[in-house]
Amino acid sequence: MRYRTLGENGPRVSALGFGAMTLAPGVYGTGDEDGAAALLASLDAGVTLVDTADIYGEDGYSERMIGRVLGGRRDEIVLATKFGGNEGAGGMLVPGMGRPEYVRRALDASLARLGTDRVDLYYLHRLDPATPVEETAGVLGELVAEGKIGGYGLSEVSARTLRRAHAVHPVTALQTEYSPFHRDPEDEILPACEELGVAFVAYSPLGRGILGGAVRTAADLDRDDWRRNNPRFQAGNLDRNVSLADRVAGLAAEHGVTSAQLALAWLMRRGAVPIPGTRRAANARANAAAADLSLDASAFERLEEIVPPGAVAGRQAHDAYLANIDRA
């Protein structure tokens, strides 16, 4: 496993992390305790960054599992969680989740579920439309000074919002969707992170499972899997995207790796910290092994030729999801 520092002054972490949204039932199908084995397998493979959120599963399911499974190994991990992603009517964000009083309550609740007295990285999950980001950044800076969080991050915000928050208190990391199937961050977000010394964390690094080969038809998705409503998984679009994934798999096979490993290595080469999620221990170990790959630059160039920007069929998500993403 290779390691790196998050941002200019953040913690030292593994080159890729473990995304714990997959542990929660009703996100990517039915959750079960097999996720605990995957979590431990990642840790044993050298992964130190574990990323979750208070909305992953009913009553903080993902946070509670992490607290239960990793409680005895807390000092081995850099623990990240998020607040401010709750949705109300029509799938729109509940206003007010960026206000200082809410942030403090949310953190205390997460600490209790996680069974710890500190969070190493605390993210604003989505920009609160009712609160200036400067106000949220201010209270997060106070929590850093109080020792309750090691640093803070932002998720799915624009470069402009990142700069506004960073001016109040330095941002450790910015998290957004990024993969060979979704390259929007390359336009403004990645350059802004590099300019400010902010780490970039990539969620859904495997195209929400398509690049991993687990999804080939809609029948591969459980009835409660939210991806059934995602445009990239709709009839026609899914066929096109699976065809692209098959070409990536062929390229990966030429180099003796899996398509998931190739995609993760591509992200790390571009300076991102990917956080793939899985409930299978074998997949967790294979993902971790991607950090040690030594592939020729031509492999990555061919990957970009196979999946250039705009090649993927369908929008990133449905209307309500996109409405909650800050693009200003």
Verdict on whether the full-model pTM lies above 0.85: yes
pLDDT of res. 24: 85
pLDDT in tens, 21-79: 988 876 666 545 578 999 999 999 999 999 999 999 999 999 999 999 988 899 999 99
Show the domain range for 103.
Answer: 3-323
Is 99 within a domain?
yes
Within a domain: residue 243? yes
Range of weakest confidence among 124-133, 230-239, 266-275, 301-310:
230-239
Name the amino acid, one letter, at 292. Answer: D
**Which pair of structure tokens corresponds to residue 222?**
């459980």
Dihedral angle computed from the Cα positions of residues 321, 207, 113 and 326, in that order, rounded to the nearest 10 degrees: -30
For helices 259-269 and 281-289, angle between their N-to-C axes, nearest 10 degrees: 40
What is the spatial order of strands in the sheet that 78-83 belongs to? Answer: 18-19, 49-51, 78-83, 121-124, 152-155, 173-177, 199-203, 273-274
Q: What is the pLDDT of residue 223?
A: 79
Residues 202-213 have a mean pLDDT of 92
- pLDDT, position 226: 76
Residue 74, domain CATH: 3.20.20.100
Mean pLDDT for 2-27 is 92
If you average pLDDT over residues 111-137, what whole number do you get?
Answer: 98
What is the C-alpha separation between 27 and 22, in angstroms, rounded? 7
Lowest mean pLDDT among 6-10, 32-36, 285-289: 32-36
Give me 200's structure tokens.
């970039």
Q: What is the pLDDT of residue 56?
A: 95
Q: What pLDDT, on a 0 to 100 scale, did the predictor assign at position 328?
A: 79
Beta strand 78-83 pairing with 49-51: parallel
Task: Give the pLDDT score at 29.
Answer: 60
Q: How crowded is the C-beta side of 300, counted as CA atoms within 13 Å?
A: 15
Judged on CB neighbours under 10 Å (0-12, 13-18, 19+), 223 is exposed
Please report whether residue 73 resides in a domain: yes
**How many CB atoms sit inside 10 A of residue 129's CB?**
15
Return d(Cα 106, Cα 143) in angstroms, integer.
12
How high is the pLDDT of residue 288? 98
Report yes or no on 328 lying in a domain.
no
Alpha-carbon distance of 267 to 186, in angstroms, equals 11
Q: How many domains does the chain have?
A: 1
Start-end of H helices in 154-280: 159-168, 189-196, 237-254, 259-269
Among all residues, which ones are annotated catalytic?
56
Q: Which of 51-65, 180-194, 223-237 comes out lowest in average pLDDT?
A: 223-237
**7-16, 31-40, 75-84: segment of lowest average pLDDT:** 31-40
Average pLDDT, the chain: 94
pLDDT for the residue 26: 66
Going by the DSSP 8-state scheme, the letter that residue 94 receives in this structure is P
Tokens of 167: 């001016």
Contact by Cβ (8 Å): 142, 171: no
